Amino acid sequence: MKNMIETKNLSKTYKAFTAVDHVSLHIKKGSIYGFLGPNGAGKSTTMKMLLGLTAPTDGDFQIDNLTFPNDRVQILKKIGSFIESPSFYPNLTGKENLDIIRRILGLPESSVDEALELVGLSEFGNRLAKKYSLGMKQRLGLASALLGEPPILILDEPTNGLDPEGIIEIRKLVLDLNKKSNITILISSHYLDELSKIATNYGFIDKGHIVEEISYEELNSKIREKTTVKIK
Ligand code: ADP
Ligand code: MG
Protein backbone atom coordinates (compact mmCIF):
# COMPACT_ATOMS: atom_id res chain seq x y z
CA MET A 1 0.00 0.00 0.00
CA LYS A 2 1.35 3.43 -0.81
CA ASN A 3 2.05 6.05 1.81
CA MET A 4 -0.34 8.95 2.10
CA ILE A 5 2.13 10.93 4.21
CA GLU A 6 5.85 10.45 4.00
CA THR A 7 8.46 12.62 5.67
CA LYS A 8 12.18 12.37 5.03
CA ASN A 9 14.62 13.62 7.67
CA LEU A 10 12.19 16.32 8.68
CA SER A 11 13.86 18.58 11.22
CA LYS A 12 13.18 21.75 13.17
CA THR A 13 15.81 23.61 15.10
CA TYR A 14 15.17 26.63 17.29
CA LYS A 15 18.51 28.41 17.71
CA ALA A 16 20.68 25.74 19.36
CA PHE A 17 17.79 23.45 20.29
CA THR A 18 16.57 20.71 17.94
CA ALA A 19 12.91 19.96 18.57
CA VAL A 20 12.45 17.56 15.63
CA ASP A 21 15.49 15.62 14.49
CA HIS A 22 15.54 13.81 11.12
CA VAL A 23 12.06 12.39 11.46
CA SER A 24 11.04 9.97 8.68
CA LEU A 25 7.42 8.90 8.92
CA HIS A 26 5.60 6.43 6.68
CA ILE A 27 1.86 6.76 7.01
CA LYS A 28 -0.21 4.43 4.86
CA LYS A 29 -3.35 5.46 3.07
CA GLY A 30 -6.40 4.58 5.15
CA SER A 31 -4.42 3.98 8.33
CA ILE A 32 -4.89 5.45 11.78
CA TYR A 33 -1.37 6.41 12.76
CA GLY A 34 -0.82 6.91 16.47
CA PHE A 35 1.95 9.43 17.01
CA LEU A 36 3.15 8.79 20.53
CA GLY A 37 5.66 10.48 22.76
CA PRO A 38 6.03 12.32 26.07
CA ASN A 39 5.37 16.03 26.39
CA GLY A 40 8.02 18.01 24.57
CA ALA A 41 8.96 15.09 22.27
CA GLY A 42 8.23 17.09 19.10
CA LYS A 43 4.78 15.84 18.10
CA SER A 44 3.10 19.23 17.69
CA THR A 45 6.11 20.70 15.92
CA THR A 46 6.10 17.82 13.41
CA MET A 47 2.38 18.21 12.79
CA LYS A 48 2.70 21.97 12.40
CA MET A 49 5.33 21.46 9.73
CA LEU A 50 2.99 19.13 7.83
CA LEU A 51 0.39 21.89 7.93
CA GLY A 52 2.79 24.56 6.79
CA LEU A 53 2.39 26.40 10.11
CA THR A 54 6.10 26.35 10.83
CA ALA A 55 8.92 25.91 8.34
CA PRO A 56 11.23 22.88 8.50
CA THR A 57 14.92 23.67 8.95
CA ASP A 58 15.83 20.45 7.12
CA GLY A 59 14.24 17.52 5.32
CA ASP A 60 11.08 17.36 3.26
CA PHE A 61 7.77 15.59 2.96
CA GLN A 62 5.18 14.38 0.50
CA ILE A 63 1.46 14.15 1.05
CA ASP A 64 -0.59 12.16 -1.46
CA ASN A 65 2.29 12.43 -3.91
CA LEU A 66 2.37 16.23 -3.57
CA THR A 67 5.64 17.75 -2.43
CA PHE A 68 6.19 20.47 0.15
CA PRO A 69 6.79 23.39 -0.28
CA ASN A 70 5.98 23.50 -4.01
CA ASP A 71 2.46 22.07 -3.66
CA ARG A 72 1.73 23.71 -0.30
CA VAL A 73 -1.73 25.03 -1.16
CA GLN A 74 -2.88 21.78 -2.76
CA ILE A 75 -1.58 19.84 0.24
CA LEU A 76 -3.54 22.02 2.65
CA LYS A 77 -6.75 21.38 0.75
CA LYS A 78 -6.41 17.68 1.52
CA ILE A 79 -5.99 18.04 5.27
CA GLY A 80 -8.44 18.73 8.04
CA SER A 81 -6.65 19.60 11.24
CA PHE A 82 -7.09 20.02 14.92
CA ILE A 83 -3.96 21.47 16.53
CA GLU A 84 -3.82 22.13 20.25
CA SER A 85 -7.05 23.42 21.80
CA PRO A 86 -9.03 25.04 19.01
CA SER A 87 -10.61 28.34 19.95
CA PHE A 88 -14.05 29.52 18.96
CA TYR A 89 -16.05 32.71 19.26
CA PRO A 90 -17.89 32.17 22.55
CA ASN A 91 -20.82 34.41 21.65
CA LEU A 92 -21.52 32.68 18.34
CA THR A 93 -23.27 29.34 18.03
CA GLY A 94 -21.42 26.19 17.07
CA LYS A 95 -22.95 26.42 13.64
CA GLU A 96 -21.97 30.08 13.16
CA ASN A 97 -18.43 29.28 14.20
CA LEU A 98 -18.20 26.54 11.60
CA ASP A 99 -19.78 28.76 9.00
CA ILE A 100 -16.94 31.28 9.32
CA ILE A 101 -14.38 28.57 8.58
CA ARG A 102 -16.60 27.17 5.83
CA ARG A 103 -16.61 30.52 4.05
CA ILE A 104 -12.86 30.91 4.34
CA LEU A 105 -12.47 27.49 2.76
CA GLY A 106 -15.00 28.30 0.06
CA LEU A 107 -17.15 25.25 0.76
CA PRO A 108 -20.90 24.88 0.13
CA GLU A 109 -23.29 25.85 2.96
CA SER A 110 -24.40 22.25 3.39
CA SER A 111 -20.92 21.23 4.58
CA VAL A 112 -21.58 22.79 8.02
CA ASP A 113 -24.58 20.58 8.75
CA GLU A 114 -22.76 17.56 7.38
CA ALA A 115 -19.79 18.15 9.69
CA LEU A 116 -22.07 18.69 12.72
CA GLU A 117 -23.86 15.46 11.86
CA LEU A 118 -20.56 13.55 11.61
CA VAL A 119 -19.56 14.51 15.16
CA GLY A 120 -23.05 14.11 16.63
CA LEU A 121 -23.61 17.80 17.33
CA SER A 122 -26.57 18.40 15.02
CA GLU A 123 -29.03 19.10 17.80
CA PHE A 124 -26.65 21.52 19.52
CA GLY A 125 -25.65 23.50 16.42
CA ASN A 126 -27.67 26.52 17.51
CA ARG A 127 -26.29 26.64 21.03
CA LEU A 128 -23.69 29.32 21.88
CA ALA A 129 -20.15 27.94 21.88
CA LYS A 130 -19.60 29.27 25.42
CA LYS A 131 -22.39 27.00 26.63
CA TYR A 132 -20.69 23.89 25.20
CA SER A 133 -19.12 21.36 27.55
CA LEU A 134 -15.43 20.60 27.05
CA GLY A 135 -16.32 17.40 25.18
CA MET A 136 -18.66 19.32 22.89
CA LYS A 137 -15.94 21.91 22.22
CA GLN A 138 -13.55 19.13 21.23
CA ARG A 139 -16.21 17.71 18.93
CA LEU A 140 -16.76 21.14 17.42
CA GLY A 141 -13.02 21.24 16.82
CA LEU A 142 -13.28 17.91 15.04
CA ALA A 143 -16.24 19.17 13.04
CA SER A 144 -14.17 22.11 11.81
CA ALA A 145 -11.42 19.66 10.79
CA LEU A 146 -14.03 17.63 8.89
CA LEU A 147 -15.50 20.50 6.89
CA GLY A 148 -15.46 19.47 3.26
CA GLU A 149 -14.59 15.86 4.23
CA PRO A 150 -10.86 15.95 3.57
CA PRO A 151 -9.07 12.64 2.86
CA ILE A 152 -6.54 13.30 5.64
CA LEU A 153 -7.01 14.33 9.26
CA ILE A 154 -4.25 15.58 11.52
CA LEU A 155 -5.37 15.57 15.14
CA ASP A 156 -3.02 16.83 17.84
CA GLU A 157 -4.00 15.35 21.20
CA PRO A 158 -7.73 15.69 20.54
CA THR A 159 -8.62 14.02 23.83
CA ASN A 160 -6.51 16.35 25.96
CA GLY A 161 -8.38 17.41 29.07
CA LEU A 162 -11.38 15.17 28.45
CA ASP A 163 -12.89 12.84 31.03
CA PRO A 164 -12.84 9.06 30.32
CA GLU A 165 -16.28 9.21 28.73
CA GLY A 166 -15.23 12.04 26.42
CA ILE A 167 -12.08 10.13 25.48
CA ILE A 168 -14.13 7.06 24.54
CA GLU A 169 -16.44 9.25 22.44
CA ILE A 170 -13.58 10.79 20.46
CA ARG A 171 -12.00 7.37 19.98
CA LYS A 172 -15.25 5.99 18.61
CA LEU A 173 -15.63 8.96 16.31
CA VAL A 174 -12.11 8.58 14.90
CA LEU A 175 -12.71 4.88 14.31
CA ASP A 176 -16.09 5.50 12.62
CA LEU A 177 -14.66 8.19 10.35
CA ASN A 178 -11.80 5.98 9.30
CA LYS A 179 -14.11 3.03 8.59
CA LYS A 180 -16.81 5.01 6.87
CA SER A 181 -14.70 7.02 4.47
CA ASN A 182 -11.25 5.46 4.65
CA ILE A 183 -9.78 8.76 5.88
CA THR A 184 -6.09 8.62 6.74
CA ILE A 185 -5.73 9.84 10.31
CA LEU A 186 -2.58 11.04 12.05
CA ILE A 187 -3.39 11.39 15.74
CA SER A 188 -1.02 12.24 18.57
CA SER A 189 -1.06 11.41 22.25
CA HIS A 190 1.37 11.15 25.14
CA TYR A 191 -0.48 8.10 26.41
CA LEU A 192 -0.31 4.73 24.60
CA ASP A 193 -3.47 3.34 26.17
CA GLU A 194 -5.49 6.11 24.64
CA LEU A 195 -4.65 5.01 21.10
CA SER A 196 -4.10 1.31 21.68
CA LYS A 197 -7.67 0.46 20.80
CA ILE A 198 -7.83 2.40 17.57
CA ALA A 199 -4.46 2.91 15.87
CA THR A 200 -3.43 0.57 13.06
CA ASN A 201 0.16 1.82 13.18
CA TYR A 202 2.36 3.67 15.62
CA GLY A 203 5.29 6.05 15.51
CA PHE A 204 7.10 6.58 18.79
CA ILE A 205 8.97 9.84 19.17
CA ASP A 206 11.26 10.92 21.98
CA LYS A 207 13.43 14.05 22.21
CA GLY A 208 12.79 14.76 18.54
CA HIS A 209 13.85 11.29 17.36
CA ILE A 210 11.69 8.52 15.97
CA VAL A 211 12.37 5.55 18.19
CA GLU A 212 10.25 3.06 16.25
CA GLU A 213 7.55 2.74 13.64
CA ILE A 214 5.47 -0.37 14.18
CA SER A 215 2.11 -1.86 13.19
CA TYR A 216 -0.61 -2.75 15.69
CA GLU A 217 0.00 -6.47 15.10
CA GLU A 218 3.77 -6.17 15.58
CA LEU A 219 3.32 -4.15 18.75
CA ASN A 220 0.92 -6.69 20.20
CA SER A 221 3.13 -9.66 19.46
CA LYS A 222 6.00 -7.79 21.14
CA ILE A 223 3.86 -7.15 24.20
CA ARG A 224 2.83 -10.83 24.26
CA GLU A 225 6.47 -11.92 24.06
CA LYS A 226 7.37 -9.68 26.96
CA THR A 227 4.47 -11.00 29.05
CA THR A 228 5.47 -14.60 28.32
CA VAL A 229 9.03 -13.92 29.41
CA LYS A 230 7.78 -12.45 32.66
CA ILE A 231 5.58 -15.48 33.40
CA LYS A 232 8.53 -17.83 32.88
P1 ADP B 1 5.01 17.79 21.98
O2 ADP B 1 3.91 18.25 21.10
O3 ADP B 1 5.50 16.41 21.68
O4 ADP B 1 4.69 17.96 23.43
P5 ADP B 1 6.39 20.11 20.89
O6 ADP B 1 6.52 19.81 19.44
O7 ADP B 1 5.33 21.04 21.30
O8 ADP B 1 6.29 18.73 21.70
O9 ADP B 1 7.75 20.70 21.41
C10 ADP B 1 9.00 20.05 21.18
C11 ADP B 1 10.10 20.87 21.83
O12 ADP B 1 10.28 22.07 21.09
C13 ADP B 1 9.80 21.29 23.26
O14 ADP B 1 10.98 21.19 24.02
C15 ADP B 1 9.36 22.72 23.12
O16 ADP B 1 9.65 23.44 24.28
C17 ADP B 1 10.19 23.19 21.93
N18 ADP B 1 9.54 24.28 21.19
C19 ADP B 1 8.32 24.23 20.60
N20 ADP B 1 8.02 25.39 19.98
C21 ADP B 1 9.09 26.20 20.20
C22 ADP B 1 9.42 27.55 19.82
N23 ADP B 1 8.57 28.29 19.09
N24 ADP B 1 10.63 28.03 20.21
C25 ADP B 1 11.49 27.28 20.92
N26 ADP B 1 11.25 26.01 21.31
C27 ADP B 1 10.07 25.48 20.95
MG1 MG C 1 2.02 18.88 21.63
C-alpha–C-alpha distance, residues 78 and 152, integer Å: 6
Q: What is the pTM of this model?
A: 0.92
- Confidence at 231, pLDDT banded by 50, 70, 90: low
- pLDDT, position 230: 58
Most confident of the ranges 72-76, 83-87, 183-187: 183-187
Q: What is the pLDDT of residues 106-163, one digit of tens each?
A: 999 999 999 999 888 999 999 999 999 988 998 999 999 999 889 999 999 998 878 8
CA separation (Å) from 223 to 34, 35, 218?
A: 17, 18, 9
Q: What is the pLDDT of residues 33-43, one digit of tens each?
A: 999 999 999 99
- pLDDT, position 84: 75
Q: Which residue, by CA, sits nearest to atom 13 of ligand 1?
A: 40
C-alpha–C-alpha distance, residues 149 and 111, integer Å: 8
- What is the DSSP secondary-structure string of 79-102? EEEE-SS----TTSBHHHHHHHHH
Rounded to whole angstroms, the maximal C-alpha distance in the chain is: 62
Q: Tell me the best of 12, 13, 14 to mutate to test the pocket of ligand 1, counting ligand atoms within 8 Å of each CB and taking the most.
A: 14
Please compute Rg for the chain using Cα positions. 18
Q: How far is the CA of 155 from the centre of ligand 1 (A)?
A: 17
Phi, psi of 135 (to 5 degrees): -60, -40
Cis peptide before 69 (omega within 30 of 0): yes
C-alpha–C-alpha distance, residues 32 and 27, integer Å: 8
Q: Tell me the best of 15, 44, 82, 154 to mutate to test the pocket of ligand 1, counting ligand atoms within 8 Å of each CB and taking the most.
A: 44
Q: How far is the CA of 198 from the centre of ligand 2 (A)?
A: 20
Average pLDDT value for the chain: 92
Question: Pocket around ligand 1: residues whose beta carbon is below 6 Å from it?
Answer: 14, 17, 19, 37, 39-45
